[in-house]
Chain A
Amino acid sequence: MVLRDLQVEREAFAARTGWELKPEGACRDDRCIPLPGDVGEGPVDVRLVADAVGMALVGDEARGLWALGPESGGRALTHARMPDLELPDRHGRSFSLRSLRGTKVVMVAWASW
């Protein structure tokens, strides 16, 4: 997640990372990790959540940018449910992986390079 500001609207943060701020802390699926202090109702302080969850926060001061890495400290997968993804096909039409529910899927990652 590339950022220009370390204060991010909650909905945008949850949509991109899966982590929601609740009174009990930063929550995703059935896990909640306590955050220091009162998180209030406003935007997410990315530094607080990054520290608590183990998401790397790296900066490029010269360009005024930051990026937030995925949760660390365990495995790349934290659960076995395939994330809902919508990606375009070669004509730019959006395709939802969820539309394939009910059938077995082999998803192969390849590249032109």
Chain B
Amino acid sequence: MALDLGGVEAAAPWIDAAQAEHPSLIDEGHLLDELLGIHNVPMAVWIDERGMLVRPPEVAHPGRAVLAELLAAGLPEDTPPLLVETLAEAAKIRIEPQRYVRALRDWVEHGPASAFALGPDEVVTRSRPRPLRASQAAAHFELGQHLHRHGDFEGAREHFRTAHRLDPANWTYKRQAWSLEDPLQGPTEHYDSDWLSDVRASGPENYYPLPDL
């Protein structure tokens, strides 16, 4: 599920390159943010045969540490300096891709008997807290998307900035807005924050909370 204000144009090249055999859908309106509390990518939920969530939204990596592989292979000499710095910082972020996939395979094999399948109350309790400020941020983010789609880019930025201030831990709101100005999500005159500065400020160890497996 691609959370992408850019819609098909933004997501399709990646979907085509992946040649995935599973459904690959595009959530142009960021509905999953609002409905489930998705606040960064990649995050995933597990849904059982009855349509019940058995894991809440949580950080979900495939079984490979792709970034580590990329860095180990070496970057091309003409890699932009900001990208080099960004990847170096990203490499400090803790992820446990193999552990996540092991848990997932256990659920696939054992279903509700898996220790990783949670009951409904636990799923709700583990989902993201939503105080009024988060609801306000969601409303501003939606206004920002609406204005961006209608070509009012400065109006959109006003609301994106407000969403960032109200819900600073929501990386989806930030990364989507930054990327509309600079694909590397670097500093621009439109925002007083950017990916590299914010990750350094909050600590790369806090960027992806490890799933409680």
A interface residues, Cβ below 8 angstroms from B: 1-2, 54-58, 60, 63, 65, 67-83, 85, 87-90, 92, 95, 97-98, 100-113
> B52 near A80 (CB under 8 angstroms)?
yes
User: Could you tell me the distance between the alpha carbons of A112 and B14 in the complex, rounded to whole angstroms?
Assistant: 7
Q: Give the contact-size bracket for chain B.
A: 35 or more
> B42 near A73 (CB under 8 angstroms)?
no
A71 to chain B, nearest CB (A): 7
> A101 near B51 (CB under 8 angstroms)?
yes
B interface residues, Cβ below 8 angstroms from A: 1-4, 6, 8, 10-16, 23-28, 31-32, 34-38, 41-54, 56-57, 60, 104, 107-108, 111, 119-121, 123-125, 127-132, 134-140, 142-143, 146-147, 152, 155, 159, 172, 175-176, 178-179, 183, 185
Residues of A within 8 A of B36 (CB): 76-77
CB contact between B138 and one of A69, A74, A89, A97 (< 8 Å): that residue: A69
Query: For chains A and B in complex, what number of residue pairs have CB atoms within 8 angstroms?
Result: 197
Residues of A within 8 A of B43 (CB): 108-109
User: Could you tell me the distance between the alpha carbons of A71 and B132 in the complex, rounded to whole angstroms?
Assistant: 8
Interface centre among A63, A107, A112 (most CB of B within 10 A): A112
> B1 near A2 (CB under 8 angstroms)?
no
Which A-chain residue is minimally distant from B48 (CB atoms)? A104
Which B-chain residue is minimally distant from A86 (CB atoms)? B25
> A60 near B155 (CB under 8 angstroms)?
yes
> A89 near B42 (CB under 8 angstroms)?
no
Given contacts A87-B25, A107-B44, A112-B6, 15 further A-B contacts (CB under 8 A): A2-B146, A54-B132, A56-B139, A63-B147, A76-B130, A77-B53, A77-B123, A80-B54, A89-B25, A97-B51, A106-B47, A108-B43, A109-B32, A110-B2, A110-B3
User: Could you tell me the distance between the alpha carbons of A107 and B2 in the complex, rounded to whole angstroms?
Assistant: 10
User: Could you tell me the distance between the alpha carbons of A51 and B96 in the complex, rounded to whole angstroms?
Assistant: 42
User: Could you tell me the distance between the alpha carbons of A111 and B5 in the complex, rounded to whole angstroms?
Assistant: 9
Top 5 closest pairs, chain A to chain B, by CB: A76-B37, A69-B135, A113-B179, A80-B120, A69-B139
User: Could you tell me the distance between the alpha carbons of A100 and B49 in the complex, rounded to whole angstroms?
Assistant: 8
Asked if A67 meets B140 with Cβ closer than 8 Å, knowing A101-B50, A111-B2, the reply is yes
> A82 near B24 (CB under 8 angstroms)?
no
Residues of A within 8 A of B140 (CB): 58, 67
